[in-house]
């Protein structure tokens, strides 16, 4: 099976679409995508990890997989998103695994590491720092407040869907800043053209609560990868990330790269993942 093919994995009442690559007996690496993307975002990173001998598992998360798309916002609470990751690992017989997450996938990764660190070998978080660092900056840093202002729209049920879908998804396409392959932009636009998929993805924003600011520090060996041309995440929260990691930690800064690190700088990201996994 190639990485382009989706295969179903049953987790409780849901079935998730999963892409895999690499040897079955390789150390497992689970990849969590962000918004507005899917597991396709890892298509340039996965082969590098697989060639290095790792078993790569990239999942379309809750709200993205059609058979894992509840309609209630409450069904997108962080503890349920964390449970999906652990349930997927259990379904695939993974006692422990390396975890990599970008954007919202990074947020889930931090929560898994904070509450279930015994299941992780390492964590590589991409773009989004530890949630306590992010929320501290959001509370007291005007730069981060401005960068995060778009979240207000995302939390408005119906209006956000209308804005992102209008004019053949013009606003949605603009979010990628012409920094990722056009084929991926078209694939994402087609994917989110289905309103149920777009609403499922936006439910992650609508289920956010103040409790995310209280995410405990993590002791898992961790690398945080941030890019200085990220429009959504500023330097204040990025540089404070390490204050919330008690185990081995490395901060990797990529110059001139946008928020879309997995697709714009896959070689650099894969190198950071492999250095952490091997370390």
Catalytic residues: 103, 205, 259
Q: Where are the beta strands (DSSP E) in 24-161?
A: 28-32, 55-59, 97-102, 120-126
User: Strand order in 120-126's β-sheet?
Assistant: 7-11, 14-21, 55-59, 28-32, 97-102, 120-126, 222-227, 249-254
Do 212 and 78 meet the contact criterion of CB atoms below 8 Å apart?
yes
Neighbours of 58 (CB within 10 A): 28
Angle, to 10 degrees, between the axis of helix 131-140 and the axis of helix 104-115? 120
Going by the DSSP 8-state scheme, the letter that residue 71 receives in this structure is S
Backbone angles phi, psi at 197, to 5 degrees: -70, -40
| No. of helices (H) and no. of strands (E), the chain | 12, 8
| Cα atoms in the Cβ-side hemisphere of radius 13 Å centred on 175 | 20
222 forms bridges with which residues in the sheet?
123, 249
User: Residue 176 and residue 104: Cα distance in Å, rounded?
Assistant: 15
User: Residue 59 and residue 90: Cα distance in Å, rounded?
Assistant: 14
């Amino acid at each position: 099976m190639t990485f382009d093919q989706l295969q179903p994995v049953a987790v409780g009442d849901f079935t998730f679409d999963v892409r895999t690559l690499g040897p079955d007996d390789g150390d497992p690496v689970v990849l969590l995508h962000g918004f507005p993307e899917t597991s396709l975002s890892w298509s340039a990173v996965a082969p590098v990890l697989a060639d290095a001998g790792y078993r790569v598992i990239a999942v379309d998360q809750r709200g993205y997989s059609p058979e894992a798309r509840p309609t209630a916002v409450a069904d997108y609470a962080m503890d349920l998103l964390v449970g999906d990751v652990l349930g997927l690992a259990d379904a695939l017989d993974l006692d422990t695994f390396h975890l990599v997450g970008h954007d919202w996938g990074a947020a889930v990764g931090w929560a898994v590491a904070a509450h279930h660190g015994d299941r992780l070998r390492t964590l590589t978080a991409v773009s989004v720092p530890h949630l306590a660092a992010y929320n501290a900056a959001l509370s007291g840093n005007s730069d981060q407040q401005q960068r995060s202002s778009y979240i207000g729209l995302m939390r408005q049920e119906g209006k956000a869907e209308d804005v992102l879908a209008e004019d053949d998804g013009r606003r949605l396409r603009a979010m990628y800043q012409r920094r990722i392959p056009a084929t991926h932009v078209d694939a994402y636009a087609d994917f989110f053209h289905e309103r149920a998929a777009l609403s499922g993805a936006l439910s992650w924003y609508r289920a956010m609560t103040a409790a995310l600011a209280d995410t405990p520090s993590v002791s898992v060996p961790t690398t945080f990868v941030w890019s200085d041309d990220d429009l959504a995440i500023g330097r204040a929260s990025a540089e404070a990330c390490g204050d919330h990691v008690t185990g081995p930690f490395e901060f990797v800064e990529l110059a001139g790269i946008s928020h879309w690190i997995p697709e714009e700088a896959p070689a650099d990201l894969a190198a950071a993942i492999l250095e952490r996994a091997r370390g």
